[in-house]
Structures are given as structure tokens and as C-alpha cells.
A and B are shown apart, each in its own frame.
Chain A
């Protein structure tokens, strides 16, 4: 059963009561929330995701609720809890869905050390992964959203899950989080993209989520092998430029953007070395998504040797 098969009433009943067991990639998360924004967000963004039967195993137990206290009547807040424990400071009351998304990222990066986890977007073409690694604000999610609607399969917008044992990159297709101007950029670029409501004045500015393409969700069980590692940078007004990057620099950039490199020790070094060895590495600066889509199209075609 997928979320779209659950009636809105039943979805709300599960979220308020026992919890909705939502499958995202390799994880099952039991989500509880009385907030309409969370129920609506899940209905819109996770429509194609599977709902697991009650009574089995869940990887994470989370909730997004209004904290108790007088304050809820004056200026309501929302709070993310991991297995009953508040994990972050509460946020303003309309940020329930973004908070769920940030909380889910936190669960994975804090507890899933079977993966080397890099803060990066990942897309796939013919079984090969394109890893876009960069700090926040470098246009990574914009580029990811653009490519996800131009022939690339979305693996993840935020978290590159590199399986330490196999070196494969595991898909975790979830909503793409866009900030500020990039919301309108992607709206203009991909008319088929489905947006949730824009939430203003978050810690990252205005935020809107884009529903992951159905195809990406349906193929979430297909991993990818290393293909390309690209460090994107948005440069206002500039022409798109793709330049080869020394592998050592690409390696260190992934270390800088990794959540748990320090936890993985020697295995983490080898997993990352394997990813870099198997990938063509580039630096990429751009200002227009159309140029970017074209350049990545030719990049995909150039790598012709079959797997």
C-alpha cells in the first residue's frame, strides 16, 4: 500500500493515533503528528511512498507536535521528538513539515553508520551516480531539482548514503528542499514539478519542498555505482563551466561535507577512496539551469562504456 491509497481520514487517524509507518528508501519511520501541515505535507510529498503494516519493525519513531504550555495559545511552536525526546529547539508554528524533513535527515545521519553519509545530492543515469557535494547555499538542491526533472533519477537531495561494505550508493528519494530564489527558478524551469506551500522565515529563509518524481520513488530499491563527483557553485550571471578537479581535492571536499567520516575510521577512508577512484571529478559553476542540464546531458553521454 502507498500513501496515495490511504484515505485522508485514515492517514490522519494513523498520524494522531498509533503512527504512520512510512517507508523511505531503506528505512521505515513511524511518524506521529496532530498537525494538519504535517498530514498535508505527507499526503502531497510522499504520495508514492509505501506504508508498512502495523506491528512490525520501525527504524525510527518520531513525532512533530505543539509543545505543551501556555505559549501554544499565544504564539504556537512545533517540536520534533525522536522516540519521545526533543531533539532540536522548537520552531515557529507553521514550520511543521520542514521540521519533519530536517528531523528525518537527523535520524539518518545520527544513527545509520552502516553508511558513510555525505551532505550531497545524488542523481543516477544508467546505474551510475552523480554526487553533487557542496555546503548549503551553493546551488546544490537547485541543480538537483533541475536534473531530477531532466532525465536523471533522483537518489537523494540531501544525503548520499554510501554503503561502507559494498561501495554502492543507496537511494533515499524524499522531497527536495528549495530555498529563497531557487524556488521560483525551479518553478520556471520544470512546470511538472509539484511544490508544497512556501514556509517563510525559517532558519534557512523561505523554504518550499518539491515532490520527488514518482519514478524515483518506485525505483528506490535500485542502488547506483560511482559515476561522477561534482562540486557545484552558483555564480550569478556566469556561463556554465565544468572543469576537471584533482581527485585529492574532491576527496577532501567530501570529507568536509561528510556527517560521519570520523565515525567510520579506516573503512570510511576506503569507502570514500573507492567512490573517488570510480568517479570522474569536476568543479562546476553555473547561473542558468538550462545550461547546466545540457552540460550534464553530454557528460552522461560521454561515459559510454557499459557497466
Chain B
């Protein structure tokens, strides 16, 4: 049962060809919804891929082309930024694994199609974190969170350094040493991910996660996120990754097996179930059945799937139903619950409540 109002972006992602018949009023709403979800350039690129852009009404087409132009510019910028990062870390001979959007882009994967960017994420071994941070600082990246508590929050409990910003280019870099916080319930072993990472041909020192790990990271990130502003975008990335890797023999079996190894079977279940039900991603029956073993027991299973279906849409006012706010809040609480043990979480929230008004030095 869906209480959300029609989400044109989901319909467009499922079947871009239907857009050729869309009225100006439909485009009016679709452009706003897809902008809110950061998916306008992806929809433009899906139409371009099918050589359908020319059939779209000119007023709407202009915005599609404009969004594509901006996405291309951001992709160029990410390529340059990655080259700067590789250069800064070159002398350390440390494996640098690109994550998420930057990985899709540099690996030439279909999930990079029409992808927009706000930052670059990398994964490095935790044992080398201090050297990496020092080398990045020498090359002009500086930390952004200046309160002592924030620094401690990131360094002691999180899976990443406080975001770094380059002093001249103003670009943001997230340096991870794991894919989930140190304090999280699930503890996927980063060493296993680093060991299986694949070198990017022609890019010295740069790697991406192995296909199964890339998919599992994408799912883990999405289904642990406290904030669903990019939920549909991430789900669409996942859909494109799954459709692409599904063409390789053994991918599906390897995916289920690897999820077990990494302690990520629950996110795998949510990921497969939600991409399939919202975006129509083809998933083999046997794989779905295997993933179902890690599903929560009823009635929690139905509740969770309902929450995801409510939360994974364009974050636009026109799609919100009477229960969307409740669903988003429930998932926000859940994400924090999974992130830290209760006592630590209480302490963190208490400190945040106080320092919001009066920042600590």
C-alpha cells in the first residue's frame, strides 16, 4: 500500500520511453521532482541514450540539456580532483579505493550516467590514515569541522575523517577507513574489501571495489543513511550497477556469498527487494529467496519494507503523502540506532542538543 502521491521520476526511471508522450504540464512537475532528487541529468541521459531527446517538447528539452551540461562539468571536475588526489598520495604507495560516484565514473560504469557530484569519497587502510591525512594536508586539503567534539566524533567513532576541503579549489573530500562507523551494529571487515579491490587500468595507485563489494557498499550506504534526500538517486545507481553486473556469470551467487562473509546480508535483502519493487530491477528468483533468509521476521519485515517504499522517492513536496514524514523520521531514528550503541547515542544527542546553541571551542 503506498500513501505517496505519484512519483513521476520513478515512472521515468522504469520506462524512459513513455516520456515522449508527456504533456507540458507533466514535464513541469517531472523536472521539479527530478531536480529535487538530483536525477534530472540522469533522465536526460536515459533519453539521450535512446535517441529520444529530440522528441521532447523544446521547453522541457532545454532544461534536460542544461542539466546534462552541468553534470558533464561536474564529472570533468571529479576526474581532475581524482588526479589531484592520486598525485598527493602517490609517494605513499598506499592503495586508494574510490567509492560511490567517483568509482562509477572512473571505472566507466553505467551508474555514472548523468551522475551529479558534491564530493569525492575514498577508502584507505586504517593503519595508513595518519599518513594519508598528512599528505593531503600538504597538498592543500584542510579539515572542515573545527570543534573538538566534532573532531573526536569523527576520529573515534566514525568510519571517516571529518570532511576535508581543498583550500583553493573548495572541493570536498571524504576519507574513509571503513564503510560503516566503528560503533555500528554491523562490522564489515575493511581489510577484505581492500584485498579484493581492483586496480583501475592506467590510473596509478587508484582502485575501485570489486563488483560484488561495490554493490554491497552502495546498499549498505543507502540502507544505513539517516537522511533520504539522495535515496532515490542511490537506488537508481544500484539499479544500474545490478543490471550491468548481472550480465557476468556467477555475479548473483557471488553477491549472496560475499554478503554473508561481510556481515551485510540484511542490507542485501533490502537492496534487492527495493530496487526490484520500485525500479523493476530484474533479480533472479533463487537469489531473492537466498537473500530473504536475512530478512527480519514478520511483522517487522512488512513494516520495514513499507517504510522504505515511503521514503525512497523524490524528496519533492508533490510526492509526499500523509505518512511520508513519519516514515522519514522513523528511518532517521533507525539510522542513528544502528550507528551507535544506545548509551553513546544518548550522550552524542545530548551534547549535540547543547552545542547546537552554544558551540564548544
Contacts and interface: CB of A to CB of B under 8 A. Distances in A.
Interface of A: 28, 55-59, 61, 83-84, 111-114, 262-265
Given A83-B32, A84-B317, A59 B72 contact: no
B73 A265 contact: yes
Interface range, B side: 20 to 34
Interface string B37-77: 00000000000000000000101101101110110110010
A114 B32 contact: no
11 contacts: A56-B24, A57-B24, A57-B27, A58-B28, A84-B316, A111-B63, A112-B66, A113-B67, A113-B69, A263-B70, A263-B73
The 10 A-B residue pairs with the shortest CB-CB distance in the complex, in nearest-first order: A57-B24, A113-B69, A113-B66, A263-B73, A57-B59, A57-B28, A56-B24, A84-B317, A83-B32, A114-B66
A88 B73 CA distance: 24
B35 interface: yes
Interface in B141-156: none
Secondary structure at the A interface, as helix, strand, loop or mixed, is loop
Contacts of A84: 316-317
Contact of A263 (B36, B65, B69, B317): B69
B66 A57 contact: no
A56 B76 contact: no
A59 B28 CA distance: 8
Given A57-B60, A83-B35, A263-B70, A114 B25 contact: no
Contacts of A112: 62, 66
Given A113-B66, A113-B69, A265-B72, A56 B28 contact: yes
A111 B72 CA distance: 14
A134 B73 CA distance: 25
Contact of B73 (A56, A61, A262): A262
B239 to A, nearest CB: 25
A194 B63 CA distance: 34
A264 B73 CA distance: 7
Interface in B295-325: 316-317
A57 B57 contact: yes
A197 B293 CA distance: 70
Contacts of A113: 65-67, 69-70
Contacts of A61: 32
Contacts of B66: 111-114
Contact of A55 (B25, B32, B316): B25
Nearest to B35: A83
A83 B36 contact: yes
Interface in B246-281: none
Contacts of A114: 62, 65-66, 69
Contacts of B63: 59, 111
Nearest to A83: B32
Contacts of B76: 265
Contacts of B60: 57
Contacts of B32: 61, 83
**Which of A28, A57, A58: most chain B Cβ within 10 A?**
A57
Contacts of A83: 32, 35-36, 316
Contact of A264 (B25, B35, B69, B317): B69
Contacts of B316: 83-84
Contacts of B28: 56-58
A55 B25 CA distance: 6
Contacts of A263: 69-70, 73
Contacts of B73: 262-265
Nearest to A84: B317
B70 to A, nearest CB: 6
Contacts of B62: 112, 114
B75 to A, nearest CB: 10
Contacts of A56: 24-25, 28
A56 B60 CA distance: 11
A61 B63 CA distance: 14
Contacts of A264: 69, 73
B179 to A, nearest CB: 30
